[in-house]
Amino acid sequence: MMESSAKASTKYLEELSILLRSQGFIVHPRETRDIDVEHDGSTLCRINDLGNLGYFADKIAGKESILDRIRETARSTREYMTLLEQAPPLVAESLSEGYQVLAEFNGTVLAGHMTRYGAQFVTWEWVHNKTALWQGHFYGFGGGSDSYQSAKRDFAVRSGLLPSSALFTQEQLTEVYRSIHETLDSEYPLTDERQKLLESAAEQIEDFVPDLDERVQRSNQAELDAPRGGGMELS
């Protein structure tokens, strides 16, 4: 049992290291079954094999959003690696071994598959009296936690758990967030109730989109770089 637990912890840190490196971080494995994460020449934090994160307070000033992204990646990765460790195998006609059932509802299945490049996720629909699968939507390789979140959204819609209109993309949420703050920062009169609702909505978006600050900056810059024109010219 202890050997199995140690193996699972090692796989988690290996997967997390793959994802963090793909995001541009430098990862330093340690002998104590945890990793240090470096960004821009500074070691920002340490993550253990349970997904717990400790940070170096003197290194994160001005980099809080980066730390939030690391924290969310560690949390999401721990979630799906734990599920993969416990999930039963997925058995279907013409399907290779190694796929595991993460969720199943209303004839739709969400599966995970570990590869040398990291985790991959797929949603399928059952056919032929639940003996075969079709119309696979694949997420990965190397997308890691982003692929996992996208696969979960796809599963929720395909299975009928949620209508597609109830889900927003991270790009849409970024623009909603910008619009909220444009309203809050303006001199437009707001009731206390409306201000509280807008502030709580902004906080929810901050919790859901880990790299929100970077997305907002890119959106702002794209708007600044957009060509101006269309105004009336007088002669």
Distance (Å, whole) CA 59 – CA 45: 9
For the chain, what is the largest distance between any 2 Cα atoms, rounded to a whole number of angstroms? 84
Is residue 40 within 8 A of residue 19, CB to CB? The reply is no
DSSP lists the bridge partners of residue 124 as 109
Per-residue pLDDT reduced to its tens digit, 85-111: 999 999 999 998 899 999 999 999 999
Q: What is the DSSP letter of 132?
A: E
Peptide bond connecting 155 to the previous residue in cis, omega within 30 degrees of 0: no
Rounded mean pLDDT, 205-233: 78
Per-residue pLDDT reduced to its tens digit, 6-51: 677 889 999 999 999 988 999 999 888 899 999 999 999 999 999 9
What pTM does this model have?
Answer: 0.76
Cα 78 to Cα 35, 171, 219, distances in angstroms:
14, 25, 30
Distance (Å, whole) CA 139 – CA 154: 10
Closest CA relative to residue 147, chosen from 175, 104, 115, 108: 115
Q: pLDDT grade, residue 230 (50/70/90)? A: low
Is residue 124 within 8 A of residue 130, CB to CB? The reply is no
DSSP lists the bridge partners of residue 39 as 42
Per-residue pLDDT reduced to its tens digit, 153-206: 999 999 999 998 888 888 899 999 999 999 999 988 999 999 999 999 999 998
